[in-house]
Structure 1
C-alpha cells in the first residue's frame, strides 16, 4: 500500500509539472495565424513559448484586428476638430493630447468649463483595452464613454443636434460620412462609431517590454529586468497585470492605509465607484489604470497629486502594499515602467 502511495505521488508530481505545457498546447487554435493566449488580450499575437507567457502575470499586446481604416481616419479628424465643441475652442485632443502621451499633464482636466474640472485626465492610448471607462468606471462601453465625453459639461459640453448641424455644414465631412457611412451619413451613431474606431486604433505596440516577453531578452536593460522582478515580487502585478497592465478591475485606493484621511480634504470625486453604485464598499474604489506609457502621463492618480513616477511608486507601496520600498528598489521599478512606453507616441 505504501509503495502504491509513492507511485501515485510521483505520477501527481509529473502531471503538475507538465500542466503548464498542457495549458499551452490547449491555448492555441488550429489556425496558427490566430493563436489564443490564456488571460491575454484578443489581439493578433505571434506564436509564443506558451509556458513562458502563461507563467507571466503581464502579457504582450498587439494591434487589434479588423479595423476599418476609413472609420479610423474619420474618427481621428473628429478627435482633433475643435468645431465639435459649442464655442469651437476645445477638441478631444485638448485633454488627450496625442503628441504628449494622450493626457494634458494637468492635475485636473479643464474641459469645456475650467471651473468644473475636478479629476485627472486618464490616458487615451490603450484605453480601448479597459473593461470600464472613467476613473469610477461609470461607462461600460466605449460608445457610452464617447457619448458622455462629447456632451458632458465638464468635458466637451456639446449638444447633439447642434454638433450634427455643424458637421453637416462642412463639405469635407459631408463627403467623408457619405463615403464611410452610406446608410446613416452624418448621425449621432456614425460620429460615435468613428470616434470609437479611432480609439481602438490607439494601441501602442512593440514597447521594449513587449519585445522582452516575446523573447528579445536584450530589449530590457539589466536594471529594467531587475525592476520587473521587483514589480512582481512586491505584489504590484496583483492589480496591474494582463496585456493592458491594468484597466481590468476596480480596487480600493488605500488598501493598507487611509490615503484620503492623510491627504484631506475629501471631495466628491474621491468617492470613486461609490458615486456610481451608492454601495459603501465602493467608497474610494477606482478602476485600476493601465501602466502602459505611464512614464509619459504625469501627474498621477485620479487627483493628479503626485508629480513623479518615483513618488507614485512610493505612495503605492505605502497605501496599497503596506510596506516601504527602499529608494533603490523604487528606482529599479521606475526603470522597468519606462520600458512600457510604446514607440511613435506622436499620434501620427
Structure 2
C-alpha cells in the first residue's frame, strides 16, 4: 500500500463538501452466490498443485492481505508485488498495482494463470470442480449451464463485492456522530488534508480511484535510489502493463480503509510500520518532513477508517 500524503478544518460537518465519503450500507448481493464464491475463494483446487487458494494470500482475518513482503505461491514461489487487501476492492477503479485488470471479474484470471501464484488454467479447474457432485449441484442451482469458467469467476466476484467494511468510526463521524472520533483522530484528519495526502487518497475508498507516481518529488529525493535495492519490473508500475514511458513508476493509489491492518506497505512491501510509511510518503511524495506528533495523529486518523465485516472476525 502506498500512502500519498493537506486543506480545510473539520468543524461543522457538511458531508457533501468532504473529499471522503462513507462506504454505502444499502448494498444488495445474491447470498447464494456469495456463499458459493466464499467456498471457491478458500478452495485450493484453483491452484495447479492443490496447495493454495485465494485466501492463502488474501487472509480475511488479517485484513484481506497477509503479513509478508510478497506472498508465496505454488511450489513456494515468491510473488513480485505486495498483496493488496481484497476488502473494499470493488470500490477500486481498476485492479492490481499497475491497473492491468479493469474489474474484479477480469482480476480473477491474474492469479489463476500466474506461474508464481496459482499456475493453473480454467479447463483444469472446471474439470476438478465438475467431478465434485456437491459442487456441481451448487452451481446448477444458480447457473443453468453449471460449472464453467464464467460462472466460477462470477461467484468469486460476487463474494469479493460483498467484502465491504461498514460503519468505520470515521464514516459514523461523517454521518454526524461527533463522538465517533477522538480529538487526535480529528486532528489527524485535518493534517491529512493540510499536508496534501487527500489529493490522492479521497473518495469512498480513500484511494483506489486514480493513478499516481511513486516518488513524485525526484528533484528532492528519489525513493528507488535511496531504497538500496535494484529496480524490478514491478517498480515500473503501470509501464509494465502499457509499455508507455509516461507510465513509469505510476501506480494505482491504494485504499487506506484497512491500512492499519495490512502491513507491510507499498507495492514492494518494504515498510512494516504505518508511521514509517507516512514519514516516507511525506518525504518522497510531498517533499516535506512531517513531525513525529503529526505522523502519530495521521496514523490515528487512518485507524479510524477501519470498518466492520463478519469475515474479519471469523
Shared fold (TM-score greater than 0.5)?
yes
Label 1:89 to 1:61 Cα distance change in 2 as closer, same or farther (>3 A).
same
Q: Does 1:59 align with 2:56?
A: no
Bigger radius of gyration, 1 or 2? 1
* RMSD of equivalent CA atoms: 1.5
**Cα distance in structure 2, aligned partners of 1:116 and 1:137:** 21
Q: Which whole-Å deviations, capped at 9, do the CAs of 1:75-109 have from their partners, x for residues lacking one?
A: 00000111221211100000000111101110011
Q: Does 1:271 align with 2:236?
A: yes
Counterpart for residue 346 of structure 1: 312
Question: How far apart are residue 148 of structure 1 and its match?
Answer: 1.8
What secondary structure, in the 3-state scheme, does the structure 1 residue paired with 2:14 have?
Answer: helix
**Cα distance in structure 1, aligned partners of 2:254 and 2:75:** 25
Aligned partners of 2:77 and 2:117 also within 8 Å:
no
Counterpart for residue 160 of structure 1: 122
Aligned partners of 1:75 and 1:197 also within 8 Å:
yes
**Cα distance in structure 2, aligned partners of 1:112 and 1:185:** 28
Q: Does 1:329 align with 2:294?
A: yes
Alignment partner of 2:265 out of 288, 294, 300: 300
Aligned partners of 2:208 and 2:254 also within 8 Å:
yes
Counterpart for residue 260 of structure 1: 224
What secondary structure, in the 3-state scheme, does the structure 1 residue paired with 2:108 have?
Answer: helix
Q: Which whole-Å deviations, capped at 9, do the CAs of 1:169-227 have from their partners, x for residues lacking one?
A: 1122011001111x120010100000000010000000101001000010011110110
Q: Which whole-Å deviations, capped at 9, do the CAs of 1:133-164 have from their partners, x for residues lacking one?
A: 00000001211101222222122111211111
Alignment partner of 1:204 out of 143, 165, 168: 165
- Number of aligned residue pairs: give it: 298
Counterpart for residue 279 of structure 2: 314
**Cα distance in structure 1, aligned partners of 2:196 and 2:205:** 17
**Does 1 or 2 have the higher relative contact order (CA < 8 Å, sep 6+)?**
2
**Cα distance in structure 1, aligned partners of 2:281 and 2:162:** 30
What secondary structure, in the 3-state scheme, does the structure 2 residue paired with 1:156 have?
Answer: coil
**Cα distance in structure 2, aligned partners of 1:247 and 1:285:** 13
Counterpart for residue 8 of structure 2: none
**What TM-score comes out, normalization by structure 2 length?**
0.92
Q: Give the gaps of 5 or more residues in structure 2.
A: 1-12
Aligned partners of 2:98 and 2:250 also within 8 Å:
yes
Q: Does 1:147 align with 2:113?
A: no
Counterpart for residue 195 of structure 1: 156
Q: Does 1:95 align with 2:61?
A: no
**What TM-score comes out, normalization by structure 1 length?**
0.83
